[in-house]
């Protein structure tokens, strides 16, 4: 109710605190009203809040204060007004060093091609000092923290800086000297440590990310290492680039998701179009509460292929996409323009993607902390691979022996699993109890473990059984 009252109070007010906006500010506000009336998914999907362009123009003109962004956020909580150089939620300095806020503190994420990355720092850190000057970025917004950091690092008379920093490992403060390199940060990074290599996707940038990801995946595949993709710091970007990136892993014609642009409009299907995938093995993805928007769309799309294991924590659960529109002053107004639906056309706004294996506090962990655990998970996963396929067995609890035909029939009916991928086997030492083994089982993992349509109860769905224990299938 208070929003409705405020809206009409501002519409009818002749002036607000005697304030007059500049001609340039008024031009921006009138254009913002036109953009909202024409493009806003929020207004188009909520019939009770639909406004004409004239009403919106009057509203924006009478909004108190100089903050156009505050007026825009009255309707759209994700609306932003940005300078042309500020195009990311994670603010970066000119030296490839980014500030991000996490759990009320500001952290630094070194870009691999930035100055800290070139000095060998690749994990999230907190600054302690720059050139002997103590630096405390906590208590500031990410924008304010980036400005403070820029004042220390962007001094033209200095060619290098001495940085004292700390990771989330308690008690250890390190010193590093960084040189001014002028490196251009990439949206996809191939990070190498003594525990192996992994791919970090930081942004989904149109015309860039899918191409860079293709090169990085090829490099990993040639090395024979498991494919690990780090989405912990990917807060979104260009949705269609995210789908192009996912397309690298999916056969032609697979539905990756849907896009809805307004209430009552038929969602547009997004399908894969790549005739040949570049990698068809298992994919292990690090995700957490900063994984959002286009990154969630990418993760949801590659998960359709069935060979993805999510490691970490729940994602953000945004599933709304923002687009930028120029204002007369040169600033950019970013507003929500459509909603992402998953491959089943289910809404995911506010619905997180849950991990298959939970790794607590994954966002701030260093590679030395998370890589040994992930390598252990990969080793366990590889133990159930055979000739590029998966063979996983589950036991039927409380069912009579030799009941495999009924199990197979029910799985076919309930989950649509092709009969040729199902066979029954007896395991040594477990005479009298049927085990159901699924070849190429990963595509059905989530369906089988969460299906409420099955009358069969399983001990632990998809608990790995060593292949050496599997004997000749029952006739």
DSSP string of 329-374, one letter each residue: TS-EEEEEEEEEE-TT--B-TT-PPPPSEE-TT-TT--HHHHHHHH
pLDDT reading at 304 higher than 90: no
Lowest mean pLDDT among 121-135, 172-186, 218-232, 376-390: 376-390
Number of Cβ atoms within 10 Å of the Cβ of 288: 26
pLDDT reading at 443 higher than 70: no
Lowest mean pLDDT among 48-57, 58-67, 371-380, 405-414: 405-414
pLDDT reading at 350 higher than 80: no
pLDDT at position 297, please? 92
pLDDT reading at 379 higher than 60: yes
Confidence grade of residue 334 (pLDDT, cut at 50, 70, 90)? very high
Please indicate whether residue 106 or residue 410 has the higher confidence score (pLDDT). 106
Confidence grade of residue 356 (pLDDT, cut at 50, 70, 90)? confident
What single-letter DSSP state applies at residue 36? Answer: H
Measured CA to CA, the distance from residue 229 to residue 139 in angstroms comes to: 31
Among candidate residues 309, 472, 286, the one with its CA nearest the CA of residue 385: 309
In percent, the amount of the chain with pLDDT more than 70 equals 71
What single-letter DSSP state applies at residue 459? Answer: S
Measured CA to CA, the distance from residue 244 to residue 205 in angstroms comes to: 11
pLDDT at position 381, please? 67
Measured CA to CA, the distance from residue 89 to residue 81 in angstroms comes to: 12
Helices of type H across 160-263? 209-223, 239-247
Measured CA to CA, the distance from residue 112 to residue 190 in angstroms comes to: 8
The torsion angles phi and psi of 4, rounded to 5 degrees, stand at -65, -45
pLDDT at position 155, please? 76
Mean of all residue pLDDT scores within the chain: 75
Span 416-429, average pLDDT = 40
Confidence grade of residue 431 (pLDDT, cut at 50, 70, 90)? very low
Measured CA to CA, the distance from residue 347 to residue 329 in angstroms comes to: 36
Q: Specify the pTM.
A: 0.74
Span 188-216, average pLDDT = 93
pLDDT at position 245, please? 95
Buried/exposed code over 65-76 (b: 16+ C-beta within 10 A; e: otherwise): eeebeebbeebb
Q: Do 358 and 288 contact (CB within 8 A), yes or no?
A: no
Among candidate residues 255, 296, 289, 257, the one with its CA nearest the CA of residue 272: 255
pLDDT at position 177, please? 87
Among candidate residues 273, 274, 295, the one with its CA nearest the CA of residue 286: 295
Please indicate whether residue 113 or residue 411 has the higher confidence score (pLDDT). 113
Degrees to nearest 5, angle at CA 262 with 236 and 53: 100
pLDDT reading at 329 higher than 80: yes
pLDDT at position 189, please? 94
Measured CA to CA, the distance from residue 99 to residue 102 in angstroms comes to: 10
pLDDT reading at 347 higher than 90: no
Here the tokens at position 133 are: 């000057």
pLDDT at position 271, please? 85
Specify the long-range contacts of residues 146-154, CB closer than 8 Å, at least 24 apart: 146/91, 146/92, 146/93, 146/98, 146/99, 149/93, 149/97, 149/99, 149/108, 150/93, 150/94, 153/93, 153/95, 153/97, 153/115, 154/93, 154/94, 154/95
Here the tokens at position 429 are: 């030492």
pLDDT reading at 188 higher than 90: yes
Here the tokens at position 102 are: 């996490």
Confidence grade of residue 236 (pLDDT, cut at 50, 70, 90)? confident
Please indicate whether residue 20 or residue 393 has the higher confidence score (pLDDT). 20
Span 427-436, average pLDDT = 40
pLDDT at position 202, please? 93
Dihedral (Cα; 99, 102, 104, 106), 10-degree rounding: -20
Lowest mean pLDDT among 10-24, 27-41, 83-97, 411-425: 411-425
Measured CA to CA, the distance from residue 437 to residue 16 in angstroms comes to: 72
Please indicate whether residue 109 or residue 97 has the higher confidence score (pLDDT). 109
pLDDT at position 382, please? 58
Confidence grade of residue 84 (pLDDT, cut at 50, 70, 90)? low
Q: Do 78 and 336 contact (CB within 8 A), yes or no?
A: yes
Strand blocks (E) in 353-460 = 357-358, 385-386, 389-395, 422-427, 435-439
pLDDT reading at 409 higher than 60: no
In percent, the amount of the chain with pLDDT more than 90 equals 30
Measured CA to CA, the distance from residue 366 to residue 359 in angstroms comes to: 13
């Amino acid at each position: 109710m208070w929003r409705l009252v405020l809206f009409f109070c501002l519409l009818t007010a002749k002036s607000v605190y005697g304030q007059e906006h500049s001609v340039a500010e008024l031009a921006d506000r009138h254009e913002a009203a036109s953009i909202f009336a024409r493009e806003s998914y929020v207004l188009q999907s909520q019939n009770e809040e639909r406004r004409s362009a004239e009403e919106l123009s009057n509203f924006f003109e009478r909004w108190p204060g100089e903050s156009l962004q505050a007026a825009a956020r009255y309707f759209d909580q994700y609306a932003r007004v940005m300078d042309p150089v500020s195009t990311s939620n994670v603010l970066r300095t000119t030296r490839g060093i980014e500030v991000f806020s996490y759990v009320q503190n500001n952290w630094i994420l070194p870009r691999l091609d930035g100055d800290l990355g070139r000095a060998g720092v690749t994990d999230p850190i907190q600054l302690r000092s720059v050139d002997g000057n103590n630096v405390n970025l906590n208590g500031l917004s990410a924008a304010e923290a980036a400005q403070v950091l820029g004042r220390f690092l962007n001094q033209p008379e200095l060619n290098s800086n001495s940085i004292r920093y700390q990771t989330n490992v308690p008690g250890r403060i390190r010193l590093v000297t960084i040189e001014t390199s002028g490196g251009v940060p990439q949206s996809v990074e191939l990070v190498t440590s003594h525990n192996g290599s992994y791919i970090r996707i930081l942004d989904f940038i149109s015309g860039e990310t899918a191409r860079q990801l293709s090169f990085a995946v090829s490099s990993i595949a040639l090395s024979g290492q498991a494919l690990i993709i780090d989405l912990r710091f990917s807060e979104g970007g260009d949705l269609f680039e995210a789908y192009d990136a996912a397309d690298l892993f999916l056969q032609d014609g697979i539905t990756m998701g849907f896009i809805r642009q307004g209430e009552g409009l038929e969602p547009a299907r997004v399908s894969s179009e790549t005739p040949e995938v570049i990698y068809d093995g298992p994919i292990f993805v690090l995700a957490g509460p900063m994984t959002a928007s286009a990154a969630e769309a990418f993760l949801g799309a590659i998960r359709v292929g069935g060979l993805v294991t999510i490691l970490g924590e729940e994602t953000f659960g945004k599933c709304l996409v923002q687009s930028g529109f120029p204002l007369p002053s040169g600033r950019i107004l970013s507003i929500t323009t459509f909603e992402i639906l998953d491959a089943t056309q289910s809404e995911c706004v506010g619905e997180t993607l849950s991990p298959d294996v939970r790794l607590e506090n994954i966002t701030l962990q260093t590679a030395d902390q998370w890589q040994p655990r992930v390598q252990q998970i990969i080793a366990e996963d590889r133990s159930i691979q055979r000739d590029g396929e998966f063979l996983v067995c589950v036991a039927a609890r409380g069912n009579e022996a030799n009941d495999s035909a009924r199990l197979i029939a029910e799985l076919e009916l309930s989950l649509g699993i092709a009969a040729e991928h199902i066979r029954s086997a007896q395991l040594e030492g477990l005479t009298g109890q049927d085990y159901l083994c699924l070849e190429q089982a990963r595509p059905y993992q989530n369906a089988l473990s969460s299906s409420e349509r099955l009358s069969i109860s399983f001990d632990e769905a998809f608990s790995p059984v060593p292949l050496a224990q599997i004997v000749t299938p029952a006739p």
